[in-house]
Amino acid sequence: MLGTRQRLAIALAFGLGLTLALLLQLPRQRQRGAPGPVSGLTESNPLLEMSASLPRSPHEQALIASAAKYNLDPFLVHAVIEAESGFDPGVVSAKGALGLMQVLPDTAALVGLPEPADAAGNLEAGCRYLAGLLAEFGGDAELALAAYNAGPGAVRRWGGMPPYRETREFVRRVSSRYRSRTGLDVQVTTRVMREGLPVF
């Protein structure tokens, strides 16, 4: 049975996702505070303000669409992109990881999306892979993030968080960015997935 804090976290996650979905339907040129077609959403609504804190980028709609397709919290995806590439789609790591979500070509092929170089394909491959890791590790966001960085084999070998400095720093950076955008611990997203409830 869920506790009060868990129910509040789930409700807040739903509210964030719903607000994001509704915001996508609003015209871009609408002025802040101008009346809109969505009743009950005002500029003093904390969910609206929190959703509006998702920074605008040329890849915003593709990010939200890919996150929704794989039932991922868009704020989690945003935090991964910030930590991986700083939203630079042209980044290539020393290991050959590409683009916004720093997807290795082998990883993209593994999830059936062998063209991770363009931004939309990269987002799709990264989200699909991250969703698979969340499923594999029982919805534990920290373990899924560790596997995203070090590979799922490393997480399985160590029976949890690998002791690698780079991996622990990556999980810390993503968690910190997620918290700065939402005010919530990154494990909130695990509670939503464990209940089988969609973020949107």
Rounded CA-CA distance 200/192 in Å is 11
Which residues touch 112 (CB under 8 Å, ≥6 apart)?
128
Rounded CA-CA distance 117/101 in Å is 10
Which residues touch 32 (CB under 8 Å, ≥6 apart)?
43
Identify residue 128 by its one-letter amino acid code: R
> Of the residues 43, 49, 82, 84, which is catalytic?
84
166 is catalytic: no
Give helix 74-84 / helix 60-69 axis angle, nearest 10°: 120
Identify residue 29 by its one-letter amino acid code: Q
Cβ atoms of 7 and 35 within 8 Å: the answer is no
Which residues are catalytic, by number?
Answer: 84
